[in-house]
Structure 1
Amino acid sequence: MPGKRSNRKDINHFCCPYCDRRLWRLGSPKHFVFYLEAQEIQKNVHIPRKNASILASKGAYVDLNCWIEDFFCGEHGKFWMKVTRDKSGKLLAAIASTDDWQHSTKTINPEIPNPSVSEFSYRISRQAGIKEKTYLPQ
């Protein structure tokens, strides 16, 4: 009985929220989500209020069952999804919101350009797909 210990059946496939085609992982690092207040911990991690207040008193709580990751759709391109592992071990994915970005580790706000990049470089990079027509004299 070859392959009886194979974990191939346990691979999670995610679908594009716009076209329901398969999403492909781009190999980006997982940006885990953290919570600072007891109410946030209680609401998002689903633990009792007392345990949440104990975790909040120790500092930021990093939820290892929830992270933001980069995915690619053949039709809609590249976008970021918030992946959550439930108690049964199944992974669920949804588009990452602005609030998720504010609560993630090692990330910058995607709506604000990188401050270390000059305005000229940023403007030129936005025009990468635009090609000017050049006319040759006849």
Structure 2
Amino acid sequence: MPGKRSSRKNVTRFFCPYCEQRLWRRGGEKYHLFYTGALEIQQNVSMPRQSAVMLAAKGVYVDNNVWIEEFTCGQHGKMWLKVCRKEDGRTVTSLATHKDWKRTSRTIHPETPNPSVSEFTYRMSRQTSTKLIYHKE
């Protein structure tokens, strides 16, 4: 009986929120969300108030069941999705919002330019120049 212990059938498949086609992972990093206050922890992680207060007293709580990941759709291109793994094992996806990006560590929002790059360099990297093309005759 080949494939009896194969875990290939347990692979989670993600689908585009616009066209319902299958999405493909880009192979990038997973950006986990974090929460700082007891009320944030209680609301987002769905745990009792006393446990949330204890975790908030320790510092920042990183939720390993919620992350932002980059996917590709054949029709709509690159997109960032917020993936939530529920207690029963299923996953729920939604488009990542600006509020979600603020809750990730060491990341910048992908729609805004890198703040460490100068405006001139950013502008020059976005334009095409015909002067740089060399034609050998």
Q: Which residue of 2 aligns with 1:136?
A: none
Change (3 A) 1:55 1:70: same
Displacement after TM superposition at 1:101 (Å): 0.3
**2:82 corresponding residue in structure 1:** 82
Could you list the structure 1 runs, at least 4 aligned residues long, displaced by more than 3 angstroms after superposition.
Answer: 124-128
Deviation at 1:7, TM superposition (A): 1.0
Unaligned runs of 5+ in 2: 131-137
**RMSD of aligned C-alpha atoms?**
1.8
Residue 37 of structure 2: aligned partner: 37
Q: TM-score normalized by structure 1?
A: 0.87
Aligned-pair CA distance for 1:9: 1.2
> What is the one-letter code of the residue matched to 1:4?
K
SS at match of 1:23: strand
Identify the residue that residue 93 of structure 1 maps to in structure 2.
93
* Aligned residue in 1 for 2:126: 126
User: In structure 2, what is the Cα distance between the partners aligned to 1:95 and 1:40?
Assistant: 20
Q: Please give the secondary structure, in 2, of the residue aligned with 1:62.
A: strand
1:88-126 CA deviation, whole Å, 9 max, x = no partner?
A: 111221110111100012211334321221212212333
Match of 2:134 in 1: none
The residue type equivalent to 1:34 in the other structure is F
Amino acid at match of 2:126: R
Corresponding position of 1:28: 28
Aligned length: 131
Paired residue secondary structure (2:71): strand
Distance 1:126 1:93 in 2: 32
Taking the aligned partners of 1:15 and 1:110, their CA distance within structure 2 comes to 21
Counterparts of residues 51-90 of structure 1 (less than 5 Å): 51-90=51-90
Query: SS of the residue aligned with 2:3?
Result: coil
SS of structure 1 residue aligned to 2:9: helix
The verdict on how the C-alpha distance between 1:76 and 1:115 changes in structure 2, with shifts beyond 3 A counting, is: same
- Report what 1:14 is aligned to: 14
Change (3 A) 1:47 1:93: same
Deviating more after overlay: 109-118 vs 73-82: 109-118
